[in-house]
Amino acid sequence: MTLQAGGSAPLRLTVTPRGGFQGAVLLSLEGAPQGVGLSPQAVNVAGTAPVQADLTLSAQASTPPGSYNLTLKATSGSLVRTHPLALTVRGGGNISGTVSLGPGIQGQAPPPLEAGVGSMPSLPPEPQAVPGELIVKLKGDPAPRALPSVLRAGGFSLRLERPMGLPGAGVYRVEAGVSPQALAEVASLEALAAQVAALPGVAYAQPNYIRYPLKTPNDEYYRYQWHYDPQHLNLPAAWDLEDGTSQLVVVAVVDSGALIRKRHPDLTPVFLPGYDFISYPQVAMDGDGRDPDPEDEEAASEGDRGSGYHGSHVAGTIAALTNNGLGVAGVSWGAKVVPVRVLGLGGGADADILDALLWAAGVEVPGVPRNANPAQVINMSLGGGGPCSQVPAYQEAINRVNAQPQKPVIVVAAGNEQDDASKYTPPSCTGVITVGATEFRNYRSYFSNYGPRIDVMAPGGDVTQDLNGDGYADGVLSTVWDNQGGRPAYVFYQGTSMAAPHVAGIVALMKAKNPGLGYAEVLNILKGTARPLSDQACTGRPHPRVNVSLRSSDCGAGLVDPVRALQAVGGGPGPGPSPDFQLQLSPASLTLAPGQTGQVQVSVVASGGFSSPVNLTLQGAPPGVTGGFSPNPATATSVLTLSVGQGAAQGSYALTVRGAAGSLTREASLSLNVVAAPPPPPPPATIAGTYVFGLYIDQDGNLDETKSTYIRILRDGRSAPYTLRNLSPGTYLVAAWKDVNGNEEVDEGDYLGVYVDAQGNYLVRPPRSGVDFSLEALVGTTLDRGQLRSWMERVLRK
């Protein structure tokens, strides 16, 4: 008999009993090649009549072709009977299955994602993002359970990973249709975000960018805290007015976590329950995702970008136990700290940071227990490239925090790039206090960012110098952990990360004296009582690493003065808060096409008893773009409606909303991106016209086109069955290609697919069914496209 490898054939066996034989007869094959089997393997004889049994002889696809002399052996006890059986196994046969368009293919010709440049002391030269993830905000603020599970844009599918604390916002991840390399390229994600933002019902979309750390009591090391002395912050005099113990103030430190299990006697007692918001185990360094354990973890090796116990150092500056005869002093003697962990190995993702910021202020975040101790002050010594106008989720989250009943005040580090802080987030956002760094001379630290977005300056140190001659570098001394010795420690760090917690601690002192102070009032007091830096001091020269020339205003209002600030709050004689206001925009960025309109809410945040109407104007609108405010003037909120005419040129425009009331003028930045009108949707993609190839690959891995074949799918739809018939024995690579652009070349924009089984094997031996696979838009592939293209062209030409 003859069998096809991978097939089977019936075999009838007759057993004739003699001499009253009854019982089970066991069957087996002798001399059979590997992969040849017989079933069933037993026949039951009862009675005197012959028994006919229908057997099945089968050969696996891997059975070598050839002719074999087999013996069918029947055994019952000591009785043995045999029968010869000639078997021929033939190779080859058919390969069949279904070929489909992958889920990332929606239109007939999806544009490939463009490759981009991807790439603290200082930040990476370009923004970085979590590969393949976008933060998407929907209009109408749908509830978390109402967020769509899948979004489709530009030929790509994005699946909802999790809802966020921002109403109507979620983290979406590219599901298919894009190469792993493109997933990691920020420019590609930004292009995809722009396409998602243009979808109906979407308020904004942005990559999930990564942010980085922006690094006379009787306490034992207080003498090394030069930044507290009368020539700098003069904290001893401030503590005579308020030491932070009048009433409890909760400060949240959104950073790398806290020393909790690794107990630090000068720090651990000040912590309240916190939370670890890092979603990615490989970043968290603790083996899991989000959990209620915000322990500060350090990288395993020195070369990794770990935390350096950054958050613990920041927390120590704010609230280390003071006047306890141990270690260092915190700015506030009575503040308690809620540690909120967002920074791990390599930094932290925006989606985690924004959820953490909201949670710290008492806002509900899906899937996380509510914060039992909403913060009155929030410190964020972290940041990344790109202005706030490009990441609207930040501004929305900040606005929501500022609106909480306990009036939280957010303090952020300006950044360490010796650059304009307006280029970075969150320093460039409105509704936060942005802090630059000074060194021992009360000059701007050489690394500190500067510019119009700086509000005030505070000590951030300079570890390249020892100007006070105490034998230690002039950094900021605070609490960390000694990994090598396994014990609590203190270390000098430099950075605007160290400057911001000085201000956060001062704000905690102010809130201890007057808990009703809000962001605008605190900012007004800090700026109104600060000591301006001269042009030379703001520049920072002489210093070997300073390479800019600045003016006094580039360092904001100057060095914070906690004594005068507390006096202004009511701790003694001094200037009181004057009437003032700030403008906040939500969103701070709009993307519109010609013929479209968009709206921005403008909030007037009053302080110092300000109650005058504010006249609003729009500055910097390009030709074809108009805007109007309603109401105008405004006393609380107004809505700006922007209209983009058909003749408006594409591009990114920096607009300014200006508010004027008497002698006061305040401004807020608005980013407008004018994009091309959405093209008509492409026709539905179809599998018709796809070539399916059976490429014969010999033992040396070379193509034999004489044994290869192909068919062309004529059926419309997203999938179609195929059969490659009468194939020779051997192994085949099964591939499919659709020439979408019709240029007869396998190139970007075409659809390509190759069958690979669950074990990663590419080769298929006929006969074989169920060889199902899908195509993807060709934007990069792990296959050698040049070789595959050559093989397919050779088969098409034969």
What is the set of active-site residues?
Answer: 255, 310, 497
Cis peptide upstream of residue 633 (ω within 30 degrees of 0): yes
Q: How far apart are CA 303 and CA 292, in angstroms?
A: 28
Distance of CA 556 to the CA centre of its chain: 32
Q: How far apart are CA 398 and CA 588, in angstroms?
A: 11
Q: Which helix (H) or strand (E) covers residue 38, if one does?
A: strand 36-39
Q: Is 786 helix (H, G, I), strand (E, B) or coil?
A: helix
Question: How many Cα atoms sit within 13 Å of 498 on the Cβ side?
Answer: 31
Contact call for residues 285 and 306 (beta carbons, < 8 A):
yes
Strand order in the sheet with 637-644: 580-586, 597-607, 637-644, 625-630
Paired tokens of 80: 């043995």
Q: Which helix (H) or strand (E) covers residue 591, if one does?
A: strand 589-592
**Residues in Cβ contact with 40 at an 8 Å cutoff, skipping those fewer than 6 apart:** 27, 53, 55
What letter represents residue 360's amino acid? Answer: A
Contact call for residues 365 and 171 (beta carbons, < 8 A):
no
Residue among 240, 245, 184 nearest 217 (CA): 240
Paired tokens of 613: 């109407």
* Cβ contacts of 370-373, under 8 Å, gap ≥ 24: 371/275, 371/338, 372/273, 373/250, 373/272, 373/273, 373/336, 373/338
Q: How far apart are CA 735 and CA 752, in angstroms?
A: 8
Q: Is 538 helix (H, G, I), strand (E, B) or coil?
A: helix
Q: Is 402 helix (H, G, I), strand (E, B) or coil?
A: helix
Contact call for residues 648 and 623 (beta carbons, < 8 A):
yes
Q: How far apart are CA 655 and CA 790, in angstroms?
A: 53
What letter represents residue 335's amino acid? Answer: A
Contact call for residues 589 and 600 (beta carbons, < 8 A):
no
Q: Which helix (H) or strand (E) covers residue 537, if one does?
A: helix 535-539
Q: How far apart are CA 287 and CA 303, in angstroms?
A: 20
Q: Which residue, chain included where needed, has tokens 């009862």?
A: 46
Q: How far apart are CA 581 and CA 673, in angstroms?
A: 28
**Residues in Cβ contact with 792 at an 8 Å cutoff, skipping those fewer than 6 apart:** 691, 693, 695, 710, 735, 737, 746
**Residues in Cβ contact with 8 at an 8 Å cutoff, skipping those fewer than 6 apart:** 56, 57, 58, 59
Residue among 313, 280, 275, 716 nearest 488 (CA): 313
**CA distances, 649 to each of 191, 486, 640, 675, 756 (Å):** 19, 61, 21, 8, 48
Concatenate the DSSP letters of all residues of 246-290 into one string.
SS--EEEEEES-B-TTTT-TTTGGGBPP-EE----HHHHSSSSSS
| Pairing mode of beta strands 202-213, 348-349 | antiparallel
Q: How far apart are CA 134 and CA 350, in angstroms?
A: 10
